Amino acid sequence: MKSSHRILAAIGLLLIPMLASYGCNAKPPEEEPKLAHQALDQAKQVQAEKLAVVDWGQAMQSLADADKSLKIKRYGDAKMFYLRAESRFKKAYTVAKARYDSLLREVDDNQTAIASHYGRVKAQLASARVPSKTKREMEVTCAELDKAIAEVDKFRSSGDAIRAKLSSQEVLKRVYDTEKSLEKK
């Protein structure tokens, strides 16, 4: 019985330096951080930090854990956290992309409605039936609407879907209000 303990102790003493040298020879992850940061960049393109907040937060936490593990030279943990971060950024991208595309469809629908109603406003202003005082007032309103419509276009073309949607909703309401007020005069 005592000899078996001695044998186990001797094996343990031999294994400790071997395992320690294995840990020292481990290399820092190279590909995993690149992949995680590529997934992060892709998720940023669809505003995942705003459209997939929970998934984005989990991905950022995994990335922070990976960086922390890398700093203290726990390369195995760092690799695992980088892989987890990549996976979570990809999930955030998928969730955000669906929401992003939906927002852009709403913006496109709003822009179509704006163009239609604003065209009617302009046509009414061009007609001879509108009094000159009302035309002058509406020209100021139309100048403001032109700026607001340009802002929606700017947000849309820059890919800022959230601001484009909010701005297009506001412009659409203002165009409707302008159209209704013109009809009353």
- Residue 12 resides in a domain: no
- Residue 63 resides in a domain: yes
Confidence at residue 89, expressed as pLDDT on a 0 to 100 scale: 97
Q: Are 151 and 178 members of one domain?
A: yes
Choose among 113, 95, 97, 98: nearest CA to 152.
113
Confidence at residue 126, expressed as pLDDT on a 0 to 100 scale: 85
User: Can you give the pTM of this predicted structure?
Assistant: 0.72
Structural domain range at position 65: 26-97
Length of the chain counted residue by residue: 185
> How many domains, the chain?
2
Q: Can you read off the two tokens belonging to residue 153? A: 């276009």
- Residue 13 resides in a domain: no
Q: Are 51 and 35 members of one domain?
A: yes
- Residue 46 resides in a domain: yes
- 4-18, 19-33, 119-133, 135-149: lowest mean pLDDT where? 4-18
Q: Which of these three, 73, 97, 121, is where a domain ends?
A: 97
Q: Which of these three, 97, 121, 138, is where a domain ends?
A: 97
Confidence at residue 181, expressed as pLDDT on a 0 to 100 scale: 86
What pLDDT band is residue 2 in, cutting at 50, 70 and 90? low
Q: Can you read off the two tokens belonging to residue 59? A: 């991905």
Confirm if 178 and 130 have CB atoms less than 8 A apart: no
Report the mean per-residue pLDDT for the chain: 88
Residue 1 above 90 pLDDT?
Answer: no
Q: Are 30 and 75 members of one domain?
A: yes
Residue 68 above 70 pLDDT?
Answer: yes
Confidence at residue 23, expressed as pLDDT on a 0 to 100 scale: 47
What pLDDT band is residue 99 in, cutting at 50, 70 and 90? very high
DSSP classification of residue 30: S
Of residues 16 and 39, the one with the higher pLDDT is 39
CA angle 88, 164, 46 (to 5 degrees): 15
Q: Are 112 and 165 members of one domain?
A: yes
The sign of the CA dihedral 112, 118, 124, 125 is: negative
State how far the Cα of 174 lies from the Cα of 156, in Å rounded to an integer: 19
What pLDDT band is residue 20 in, cutting at 50, 70 and 90? very low
Q: Are 67 and 92 members of one domain?
A: yes
Amino acid in position 121: V
- Contacts for 26 with CB less than 8 Å, ≥ 6 apart: 75, 76
Confidence at residue 168, expressed as pLDDT on a 0 to 100 scale: 97
Choose among 43, 46, 71: nearest CA to 58.
43
Q: Are 107 and 88 members of one domain?
A: no
Q: Are 143 and 176 members of one domain?
A: yes
State how far the Cα of 85 lies from the Cα of 63, in Å rounded to an integer: 5
Q: Which of these three, 97, 117, 138, is where a domain ends?
A: 97
What pLDDT band is residue 95 in, cutting at 50, 70 and 90? very high
- Residue 127 resides in a domain: yes
Q: Are 32 and 90 members of one domain?
A: yes
